[in-house]
Amino acid sequence: MSGARHLYVHLPFCAYRCGYCDFVTLVGRRGQHAAYTDAVLAELELERPLLAGELDTVFLGGGTPTFLEAQSLARLLDVLPAAEELTIEANPETITPELARCLRLHGVTRVSLGAQSFQPHLLEVLERRATPDAVRRAFYHLRDASFDNISLDLIYGIPGQSAADLERDLEAAIALEPEHLSLYELEAKPGTRFTHAHGAELSRQAEAMEHYLERVVHVLRSAGYRWYETANFCLEPGRAGGRDLRSRHNLAYWQGRDYLGLGIGAVSTIADRRWRNAPRLRPYLDALAAGRRPPREVEPLPPDVRVRERALLGLRLDLPLALGSVDSALDHDALARMQALALVERRGENGSGTIALTERGRFLGDAVAAELIA
Ligand SMILES: C[S@@+](CC[C@H](N)C(=O)[O-])C[C@H]1O[C@@H](n2cnc3c(N)ncnc32)[C@H](O)[C@@H]1O
Ligand code: SF4
């Protein structure tokens, strides 16, 4: 085995908790940031044999990685293996000119900035701390530190968000000229405080939103962005000096490549196994301080499961999927039906052929892909 070329590190700490968030996060805990960093680095040493000699991508996700106490963050960045793409997720209010320079100095090549919206009333609904001006300021601090690959996260489907609000958010995001944009439809988990508070508005919103994705795609394409994955857009190479600005880390995931995840709640997929570290901090710290692997759930991944996943994830991309690599996962009757409905396009013969969702199929997204899987 040649080893995984993609590394994810989960940094769970946040200054506060946003009502809609369902990620593994911990509020504050300044006193534990150094110990967590030690534990992550100890886990890296235990799992290093699973990694390739050279990595393609490292992704620091959260939580709020840029909330990690500065010394710990610098130490982590110094010790993690080098990679061509090193992304960090950042909350706007954490980005000072000093931190932006420090990230650049320590090898970060790409920043994914959680803007979510540029409308004060929607940021309030999401319980965000950063104002629209703080988002812009953070963006400029990153540019001043010579970051030339910045992604903005936006959420749509926020309770109370009108179609005009969405247009204004897209306009404000485009005005900053980011290299990459992720547009996530708000997921509100049943039973959470957020769903409780906004339940009625959320169901109204679901109906109003039927054409939001079409609008997002139209506006961003008109501004020169490529819709390369269901929720992701990057500047066309012609607008970006020939650079391919797709997220290489996420692309690897959508293409079914192996990756190693470190930290609480982190998932790893390597060869025929997937494991997820338990989300609790104390058992994670204790296990690694004692030189043991943290508690985790391991599941076998037989080849047919990996092929099914590759088909489901691969169909999210704007590239044709080689039939040879996913044929065994497909329901061929469903495929014929979807072709007749012009939701899927098939090219070439079985062995060397490809399938891809048509434009209409892509708007229906995962529903079409799920139908195609046997
Ligand atoms: C792992 S979060 C961390 C980012 C960072 N802490 C922040 O809040 O900006 C990455 C992105 O996931 C998206 N996200 C988080 N919760 C979501 C939800 N419930 N529905 C849709 N998107 C969500 C947000 O756009 C967020 O920027
Ligand atoms: S800051 Fe980001 S990770 Fe933290 S609670 Fe808010 S959305 Fe979740």
pLDDT band, very low/low/confident/very high, at 191 (cuts 50, 70, 90):
confident
Query: How far is ligand 2, taken at its centre, from the CA of residue 188, in Å?
Result: 14
- How far apart are the C-alpha atoms of 295 and 285, rounded to whole Å? 10
The number of the ligand nearest the C-alpha atom of 66 reads 1
**Percentage of residues in the chain having pLDDT higher than 70:** 99
Query: How far is ligand 1, taken at its centre, from the CA of residue 19, in Å?
Result: 11
Mean pLDDT of 31-49: 98
Question: Residue 192 has what pLDDT?
Answer: 83
Question: Residue 1 has what pLDDT?
Answer: 55
- How far apart are the C-alpha atoms of 247 and 342, rounded to whole Å? 29
Query: How far is ligand 1, taken at its centre, from the CA of residue 46, in Å?
Result: 30
pLDDT greater than 90 at residue 168: yes
Q: Which residues line ligand 1 (CB under 6 A)?
A: 20-23, 61-62, 64, 89, 91, 114, 116, 153, 155, 184, 186-187
In this structure, which residue's CA is closest to atom 6 in ligand 2? 18
Q: Which residues line ligand 2 (CB under 6 A)?
A: 14, 17-18, 21, 23, 25, 62-64, 91, 114
The CATH number of 6-253 is: 3.30.750.200
The number of the ligand nearest the C-alpha atom of 64 reads 1
Both tokens assigned to 332: 């061929």
Q: Model-level pTM?
A: 0.96
Average pLDDT, the chain: 95
> Which CATH architecture does the domain made up of 303-372 adopt?
Orthogonal Bundle (1.10)
The residues pairing with 235 across neighbouring beta strands, listed in sequence order, are 225
Give the chain's length: 374
pLDDT band, very low/low/confident/very high, at 199 (cuts 50, 70, 90):
confident
Task: Give residue 342's region: left, alpha or beta (phi > 0; psi -120 to 50).
Answer: left
Across 311-334, b (16+ Cβ under 10 Å) vs e yields: bbbbbbbeebbebeebbebbeeeb
Q: Which of 25, 117, 153, 194 to mutate to test the pocket of ligand 2 (most atoms within 8 A of CB)?
A: 25
For the chain, the structural domain boundaries read 6-253, 303-372
pLDDT band, very low/low/confident/very high, at 146 (cuts 50, 70, 90):
very high
- How far apart are the C-alpha atoms of 279 and 234, rounded to whole Å? 32
- How far apart are the C-alpha atoms of 264 and 277, rounded to whole Å? 6
**Percentage of residues in the chain having pLDDT higher than 90:** 89
Question: Does 6-253 match 303-372 in CATH topology?
Answer: no
pLDDT greater than 60 at residue 57: yes
